[in-house]
A and B are shown apart, each in its own frame.
Chain A
Amino acid sequence: MTLALARLLFAAVSMLSVADNYDDWQRANRAALELDATARLRYLSRSYQRDFGNLARVDFLRKSTVDEVRLVYRASAGMTLTTHDEKKLDDASRAFDELAARQALSDFERATQYRLLVALRHFDAAAAFARSNPSQRFESLPAIDDSRGCCTDSRPQLLFIDSSQRLQRRSAPAASIVVVAHPLCHFTQNAIHDIEKDAALASALEKSWLWIAPQDGYLSLDAFETWNSEHPHARMSIAYRQSEWPMAAIWDTPTFYFFRNGAIVASVHGWPAEGHLAELRDDAKKIGLAIP
């Protein structure tokens, strides 16, 4: 009885404050940017739980206005893309279904839902979703060899991009330098241009590095193909699941991680106009690479 009353009271208060909760959530996202990446994820999870943990329930959503359901959807979708957590995808999907039941879905929400399915690697569900929304222009899914038997070892997995725009899920090769990057990130582009101008450094690093892009809901294969043809010694693949990697929390682009005996011993973050070539040289020496 007490629990039921408490729930009723909570629902009543929440109904009045979804917009406020979303504002809190937006402020938390902004504040999180000031934190280091590991703390950022923890802080965002706590904030989401506080602001939306109890709002993405079917009974609450049914009593909410369309605008309120939209905000619940937006927050839970954002959190799904940040954490790649299936439970957050469930939250987002409940809000999505409620909007669909009221015929209130916008193209933004349809596109976002497709993106969530791709980001969490539910490729079959994404393809089915695209088929059931024929009027929408989603980024088309390439042929994906996503066979579960692909990776029998415990290594992190990657989506490798071949020249005919096919994706192949494979175990990542061993590498003592992992570069988190993205072909559409301007700072990533500046980094590779500066490194390639320093032929001696590039030649020393390219034997040891592995370029990977974050787990995301956009595959952007054209951008990867262009990158891979322009930078054949720094071919980029896509992380299948970020959580499999030792630097699980920090996926800012570009970031250079230097590994020794499986542990991160140094990292270089970002690429300002003056570059970070000296730092790359120093850190490469720390892991025993001979840099001329």
Chain B
Amino acid sequence: MKFRIVAFAAVTSIFRANFASAGESVDMDAVASAQDHQLENQARIDYAIAAIRSDEDLHRFLASAQSIDSPLNALSESSRRRFLSSLRFNDKGLTSFAYADLETELTPTQIYRVLKLFGAEHDAAFFSRAHIETDDDVKIMDMPRTPIDYRDYECAKRATCTQSNFSICTGNC
């Protein structure tokens, strides 16, 4: 996780340096666009290589020995059940999930660990109401927000976001 944050800062610096050397002044719109592109690519990689990308993966994971030490266990039993039943997948991976229980019960680091199972760890910074306890929590909240996931929407139809409160609609929709 620390590597990811440092890596992002390094990429940002490289972009800034490249754009600065291309002309007299830095085109901040171009820098922001390049950063968004980088964030989008990273998010797509996260989803593509996630441990859980389908209902079948989820059932397999929950039945496996891995689930004994799962980050999901940080949630209370009822919240865990509600969170798991909110997950929706398509052939690219996670398309939407409910976040109210995560934000109410977990720290940003715990949320990051839960979402990493599904490749959605880049969304941890969305949850600004989560209880902050450690320096890592602060760093997670400072992470740039991904430009492809959309808060309070859900993936109802392909390439469409439908209002659905306390859900995230991911760029996999």
Contact = CB atoms under 8 A, between A and B. Distances in A.
B165 A184 contact: no
A133 interface: no
Nearest to B148: A186
B123 interface: no
Interface stretch (B3-11, B54-62, B96-104, B107-115): B96-104
Interface stretch (B17-25, B45-53, B63-71, B154-162): B154-162
Nearest to A37: B162
Main secondary structure of the interface of B (DSSP, over half): mixed
Given A70-B104, A78-B165, A184-B150, A270 B82 contact: no
Contacts of A107: 129, 131
A253 B166 CA distance: 17
B46 to A, nearest CB: 15
What bracket does the count of chain B residues touching chain A fall in? 35 or more
Nearest to B154: A33
B163 A81 contact: yes
Given A30-B86, A108-B103, A272-B158, 4 more contacts: A26-B86, A185-B161, A253-B161, A272-B159
Which residue, B147, B149, B166, has most C-beta atoms of chain A within 10 A? B166
Contacts of B157: 252, 269-270
A82 B160 contact: no
Given A108-B103, A185-B153, A186-B147, A74 B166 contact: yes
Contact of B161 (A23, A252, A272): A252
Given A106-B129, A186-B171, A29 B164 contact: yes
Interface in B11-48: 29
Interface in A51-85: 67, 70, 74, 77-78, 81-82
A252 B160 contact: yes
Interface residues of A, number: 44
Nearest to B76: A67
A26 B104 contact: no
Contact of A26 (B85, B88, B171): B85
B128 interface: yes
A185 to B, nearest CB: 5
A189 B149 CA distance: 12
B134 interface: no
A15 interface: no
Which residue, B103, B164, B165, has most C-beta atoms of chain A within 10 A? B165
A252 B164 contact: no
